[in-house]
Amino acid sequence: MSQFKELTLQGLWKNNPGLVQLLGLCPLLAVTATVTNALGLGAATLLVLLGSNIAVSLVRNHVASEIRIPVFVLIIASLVTAVQLLMNAYTYDLYLSLGIFIPLIVTNCAIIGRAEAFASKNPVLPSAIDAIMMGLGFMLVLLVLGAMREVLGQGTLFDGADLLLGDWAKALRIEVFHADSHFLLAMLPPGAFLGMGLLIALKNVIDNKLKQRQAVEKGSIARARVTGAAQ
C-alpha cells in the first residue's frame, strides 16, 4: 500500500511531469489558453499514458532491450491514433480547437519517459497507478495554467466547456470579470511561458516552506528523475 501512496505523491507533486520533470512542455504551453482546452488535452494524455504504461508493462519481458524504444513509440502512436479518432467522433469542436496537438501527444516526452523509466521495469498494477497519477499531475498543471491564462486573458472560466462535456456544460461558464479589452499576452505563447515560470516558482516556494517546517525530511526517492529531455 505504501508503494501506491508513494506513487501518488510522486506523480502529483514531487516528480510532477509538468512542474518538476518539465516534460511535455510543447502541448502544456500551447493549448492552455482556456480551461476547456487544457482539460481536453489533459484527459487525452491521461488516457494514452494509462494505455501505454499498461501495454509496455505487459510486453516488458518479451521485447529485446535494443529495440524497446521503437516498440514503445509504436504502442504510443497506436493509442494516440485511437484517442484522436475518439475525439474526432465525440468531441468534434474540441478536436478542431486542439488541432495538431492531439497527434503530437505521440511526441510527448512525459509518456515515453514513464514507459522507459517506470513501466518497462515494473508489473502492470504499479505501472497503471503510476500512469494515472502522472497523468493527473500533468492534467492539474494544465488546468491551473489554463485557468490562470483564461481569467487573465478574457476574464472567464470554463468558456466553451460544452465543446468537451456536452450542452449541459454551458452552465459551467463563469464570468470572473468583464473586460472591454482582452489581455492578449496571457492568451499568447509568452503568457504561457511566464505563467509556467510563476507556477514552478510557486511550487519551489511551497517546497521550501514544507522543508523548513519538517526539519527532518526523509525522501525515499528510489527512482531516477527523468529530466533533460524537454520537448
Query: Under the rule (CB under 8 A), what is the footprint of other proteins?
Result: 181, 183-186, 188, 190, 194
Alpha carbon distance 60, 93 (integer Å): 37
Cα 211 from chain centre: 26
- Residue 88 CB, nearest approach to other proteins (Å): 33
For residue 64, the SS3 value is coil
Residue 114 near residue 133 (C-beta atoms within 8 A): no
Of the pair 111, 186, the CB lying nearest other proteins is at 186
- Residue 194 CB, nearest approach to other proteins (Å): 7
DSSP state of 10: I
Of the pair 166, 190, the CB lying nearest other proteins is at 190
Of the pair 129, 186, the CB lying nearest other proteins is at 186
SS3 content of the chain, % helix, strand, coil (to 5): 70, 0, 25
- Residue 154 CB, nearest approach to other proteins (Å): 12
Of the pair 12, 194, the CB lying nearest other proteins is at 194
- Residue 20 CB, nearest approach to other proteins (Å): 20
Alpha carbon distance 34, 155 (integer Å): 11
